[in-house]
Structure 1
Amino acid sequence: MNNRREQWQAAEQLALALTDGGLQRMSARTLAMFLFTDQETVTMGDIADQLGVSPGSVSGAVKALLSVGLIQRLPAPGSRREHYRLRDDAWSTLFSTQNTVTLTMLRAAEAGIRATASDDPAHQRLIQMRDFHEFMLREIPSLLRRWQQEQVSQRTGGTART
């Protein structure tokens, strides 16, 4: 797929899939743009131009992608505009950033457990919610270590996946 038009069509298809998965449409389109761009960094104006939208509509999407750690703001000496790029470790950063969400869910479950009687069906559902999030908090660090080891192995000539 060498044709840029085909690539942007694929980017829009990815954005639709991300939207179907729950991401806000503009955030999904913006993330797809970061994945498919051939530029090292982009500005909000660049994103707006590429997507054919107003710069104001891009602002919330960029803020959302920054907040979960998928993109990063970079210094741009000599430029008055802020520059952004997809983080090299975007996916592991996203996963580790989700620990904050997981911790929030865990705390909410614990509060619900305290607020319900042990014979209340909600109490049992909240215990399961708490136990799941405790499990995730224990397991995420080892998963991320394994991912990092796999990435190092692939870069150094270990077993590469195709």
Structure 2
Amino acid sequence: MPRDDAALRSWIEEVAILFERDGLPRMAGRIFAWLLVCEPAEQSMEDLAAALQGSKASMSTMTRLLANAGLVERIRPPGARRDHFRIHAGQWERLWRARLEQLRTATTVMRRGLDLLARRPAAVRLRLEELHDQYAFFERELPDVLARWERERARRAPLPARLPRKRAAHPA
């Protein structure tokens, strides 16, 4: 990233702070943000370290964390000697579908807890019921939200058609 691109650096830091608020290291957020906007889209550990002014050790730890979370993909381009990282097209749908599965699992686990507390006073069950009901709600609603998104995406023009085109120079 050009060192003089202060606005882009500032935006990358905003994304990093969002990640940090979710309990992830700030450098993981920087890497993720950079992979959203970098060119080329696939970056080596060295590319990431240079762009983000971080150590290779930090890049290694954070890319492993991001890859394990399903946020970035580790690839080895043909002929390359080192791994590269990218945000894969279609990744977001897979991520949301995985979250739906997590909701299903969490709802089931909370239901088992409620079953264990069936004979306890309502006041004891209240916190767990609230959590169970919330998981169950999002488990029911998320499939509809994803279906609406798929319809929305189908109505949109493909991404390259939405990108602004360079205007041809007019003859003087």
**TM-score interval, smaller chain:** 0.7 to 0.9
Q: Which has the larger radius of gyration?
A: 2
Distance 1:144 1:41, change over 3 A: same
Distance across 2 between alignment mates of 1:4 and 1:153: 35
Contact 2:35 2:41 in 1 (8 A): no
- Give 3-state SS (helix, strand or coil) of 1:73's partner: strand
Q: Which runs of 4+ in 1 moved over 4 A?
A: none
Q: Which of 151, 154, 158 is 2:153 aligned to? A: 151
Identity of aligned residues (%): 26
What's the CA shift for 1:123? 1.7
What's the CA shift for 1:120? 4.8
- Give 3-state SS (helix, strand or coil) of 2:73's partner: strand
Q: Does 1:33 align with 2:38?
A: no
TM-score (norm: length of structure 1): 0.79
Partner of 1:79: 80
- Give 3-state SS (helix, strand or coil) of 1:155's partner: coil
Residue 142 of structure 1 aligns to which amino acid in structure 2? D
What's the CA shift for 1:115? 3.3
TM-score (norm: length of structure 2): 0.75
Partner of 1:67: 68
Pairing 1:1-162 to 2, within 5 Å after superposition: 4-116=5-117, 117-155=119-157
Distance 1:38 1:122, change over 3 A: farther
- Give 3-state SS (helix, strand or coil) of 2:156's partner: helix
The aligned length equals: 157
Partner of 2:168: none
Residue 124 of structure 1 aligns to which amino acid in structure 2? L
Give the root-mean-square deviation of aligned CA atoms: 2.7
